[in-house]
Structure 1
Amino acid sequence: MKFTPLAAVITLSALSPSLSAEQVGPWNLDALKNNVPAMKWLRQDQPIHSLTYAGEKYQGHDTEVFAFYASPTTLGEAKAGTKFPAVVCIHGGGGTAFAEWVQLWAKRGYAAIAMDLNGSRPPEVEFDAKGIAIGNGHRGTRTRLPSGGPPHGHPEKFDSIKTTDTSDDWPFHAAASVMRAHTLLRSFPEVDAEHTAVTGISWGGYTTCLVASLDDRFKAAVPVYGCGFLHEGESVQKPSIDKLGDHKAKWVKEYDPGSLLPRCRVPIMFVNGTNDVHYVLDSYMKSYNVVPGEKHMRIQVKMPHGHPPGWAPQEIGLFIDSKCRDSKPLPILGQPRIDGDTVRVNVNSRPPIKLKSAALHYTKDGGLRSKREWVTVPAAIFDITPSTNDAIIKLYKITAPKPPSEANTWYLSVTDERDAMVSTPVVLKP
């Protein structure tokens, strides 16, 4: 399949921003959302295509961003002319554009783009005997692009805030490159531009939080691990932010997602583990709490941290499907409440999906959250759907014994008959 995106010859840097352009921090949102970046295909002879597109200026020079692209059509599983919803995939620290990630989404029926935010490109894609992309991002040598943007290092993430020029700041480039990729993706003839989503892992989850707060064209966002309030609590990024001294407040204002998430109106699902050392539950809940719009949560006891574990949860696809393909949504949980000797929460579920199980999770341990042990207790499920409901929505009540008085952190989760798990907000004792 070969095609040219609409207006692909227009470069963003060649256009003068409007006097009325919407500016948030260093980002010109009007330019990023309305001007399709120049791009060129590198390979279209494989099921997963490769390309570069124009990025922001870096150190006074034009840049390009490498990306992989795939869809059911490029995989040979759909006819040319078919339109698909689309998803933007953002890698985390140490990552790159992952060919297997876009292939996973293409097999789900999406057009997908995954870019490298390190100014580099991974090795060429290789396929196994079944045509599945081999982990290109975890093998071989990555090549620095001659006109690549800032590398994905601590100096570029943090220390560059000390200069007056934002064009050397990695967070600025990362969010801008994602929005440029989104604009490019929406211009492809086979993409349903009104049904797009974004998901990212670790630093990609951090960037997802930024982008979901800046780019209101997305119908769904799923940050995995990543969050804001990195300058607080046990975040492993806190020491680097503290070292900024007089520039700390500026970094927090411009680049900490906690400062931008109050803008977020994109339906968002936060996915994390109880013991994640990079994005700790305290900061995670603060990030969740400041989102004013629709929000959901999936917290897994001791969820491992990494790229394949980060894109593995099926709930990511189910949530995005519910927003981009009008499929059955995940159960919706209310705020958990302690009522006497029990803890309870109400749950809405769309028929015919039924709840399968529920549980209370808590920890009594102190010290670093990444080291705490958790206890899981089964919870009871009661169908409380009113007889007048006509089965439009099933209503459930979940109850479990009240967490012990020594418990300092707890939440409830439910699993439906698809084995999809979602959870309540996490309750943290002061």
Structure 2
Amino acid sequence: MLRFRFYFSLMLAALSTLEAAPNRSDGLRELLDAKIYQVPATYPHPTYDVGKVKALFYESIPYQGKAKRVFAYIGIPESEEPVPAMVLVHGGGGTAFHQWVKLWNDRGYAAIAMDLEGHLPQNVETGGGRLTHAHSGPSRVGRFGDAELPLEAQWMYHAVSDIFVAHTLLASLPEVDADRIGITGISWGGILSSLVSGIDSRYKCAMPVYGCGYLYESHGHFKSVQGAAQKFWDPARHFARGRVPTLWVNSDSDGHFSLNSTSRSFETTREHAWLSIHPGLAHGHRAGWDPRRVPEIYAFADYTLKGEGALPQRIVQQPAGRSVQLSYESDVPVESATVYYLNEALTYRKPAEDPQARHSRPGPWLSLPAEVKRSERSVYAELPDSCMTYYVNLKDARGQLSSSALIELSAGSPGR
């Protein structure tokens, strides 16, 4: 009965088309196929269903003159009223994860997770492995390695378009509140979700994890991204014009996305953005969606899409130079503050204890407690003279982290 109800909703949705693209002009959006706003044809794939999470293919923009289909999982929780929803964007090596969909379903959200590289999972139970299919589009070519090809042949063009269509499909379902849809993505999904947040104002919130903009300024894995064709796809070029409330999430030790790029992405969007830096957070899909490790993601969604709980602390006065003094606003008591610092410029290298490590990283980070003056809603700390790089974390009564921008000091910076 549930399966029939779900697929009947899809058939009803296919009979209608959502309203035209938002009015705000943007160069990339104007280059996308108008089909991204049309409710797509869907093709159930019930042998891949996992419990109440349903598998299907949806039709997206054509590739090489042929119809293209995207594999996806969709889940909708039981509710008497339309529910908020999330679009879930996987990272490199990933696919559509039914576990990720169910995680959001269990929290009262509808969700769609789609494969953006022309695959479907090889192992249905675990979501591991990737199989190709007859109606697939392009796969990712390194770090924008196909950027010199015609636009319609590039992977990013198709990935962005497929995300637009996923939103259109999800919003068309009668069980979903089309005015309460957010997006989150992990690693490459963070790149894509942050980019899309700048050109698709239908979203009410965005939570990019690891991935960010200003990739060409990276000290780590993405430092090879250079040249006008590759920079065309840098998310900062697009989210700089956006207004979608955004929570930037990263690890301070992530070798893929260096912290300076994340911090600058936050600074660019500061009027409508928050930053949460997690010391030592591992890089990966499960780490990046784990509610125990990154509870800020779910609290941010609950506040912006459900009107429940509270936003992260907003740092209204950032630290500057060697003066570790900041002011904040918060509806939840701030219980502690910590300065994380390096006695050198932000540098990414293979760790001495693991010279065969796949990726470089900074650190090790040192830390010192900062003084929280709750009556003044302010934080103070004294830096050691050796400090060259630092950021400040505030932890609230929920155990959630809100972070300052990264501060990089020049040699010989004066004290207070």
Q: TM-score, normalised by structure 1?
A: 0.83
Q: Which runs of 5+ in 2 are unaligned?
A: 350-360, 411-416
State the superposition RMSD in angstroms. 2.5
| CA contact 1:359–1:378 (8 Å) conserved in 2 | yes
Tell me the residue number matched to 1:132: none
Tell me the residue number matched to 1:323: 304
Tell me the residue number matched to 1:119: 118
In 2, distance between residues paired with 1:161 and 1:60?
19
Question: Deviation at 1:151?
Answer: 1.1
Aligned-residue identity in percent: 34
Tell me the residue number matched to 2:182: 197
Cα distance change on mapping 1:34 and 1:60 into 2, 3 Å: closer
Q: Does the residue aligned with 2:63 lie in a helix, a strand or coil? A: coil
In 1, distance between residues paired with 2:312 and 2:83?
21
Aligned AA for 1:72? P
Tell me the residue number matched to 1:41: 44
2:210 aligns with one of 196, 219, 225:
225
Question: Deviation at 1:425?
Answer: 1.2
Tell me the residue number matched to 2:395: 415
In 1, distance between residues paired with 2:320 and 2:193?
33
Cα distance change on mapping 1:189 and 1:90 into 2, 3 Å: same
Deviations 1:215-257 (A, max 9, x none): 1011110110101222234242332x34xxxxx213212x111
Tell me the residue number matched to 1:251: 230
In 1, distance between residues paired with 2:409 and 2:30?
37
1:373 aligns with one of 351, 364, 372:
364
| Deviation larger for 404-413 or 181-190 | 404-413
Tell me the residue number matched to 1:335: 317
In 2, distance between residues paired with 1:337 and 1:172?
38
Aligned AA for 1:115? M
| Deviation larger for 328-337 or 356-365 | 328-337
Aligned AA for 1:332? R
For the pair 1:146 / 2:149, whether they are aligned, the reply is: no
| CA contact 2:87–2:113 (8 Å) conserved in 1 | yes
Cα distance change on mapping 1:346 and 1:143 into 2, 3 Å: same
Tell me the residue number matched to 1:65: 70
In 2, distance between residues paired with 1:335 and 1:152?
40
Aligned AA for 1:8? A
In 2, distance between residues paired with 1:365 and 1:221?
33
Matches within 5 A, 1:256-335: 256-291=234-269, 293-312=271-290, 313-327=294-308, 328-335=310-317
In 2, distance between residues paired with 1:150 and 1:293?
36
Cα distance change on mapping 1:28 and 1:187 into 2, 3 Å: farther
In 2, distance between residues paired with 1:45 and 1:200?
22
Question: Deviation at 1:58?
Answer: 1.5
Cα distance change on mapping 1:102 and 1:167 into 2, 3 Å: same
Cα distance change on mapping 1:45 and 1:261 into 2, 3 Å: closer
Question: Deviation at 1:106?
Answer: 0.5
| CA contact 2:218–2:257 (8 Å) conserved in 1 | no
| CA contact 1:265–1:292 (8 Å) conserved in 2 | no
Tell me the residue number matched to 2:328: 347
Tell me the residue number matched to 2:160: 175
Tell me the residue number matched to 1:162: 148
Cα distance change on mapping 1:268 and 1:338 into 2, 3 Å: closer
Question: Deviation at 1:334?
Answer: 2.4
In 2, distance between residues paired with 1:338 and 1:249?
32
Tell me the residue number matched to 2:60: 55
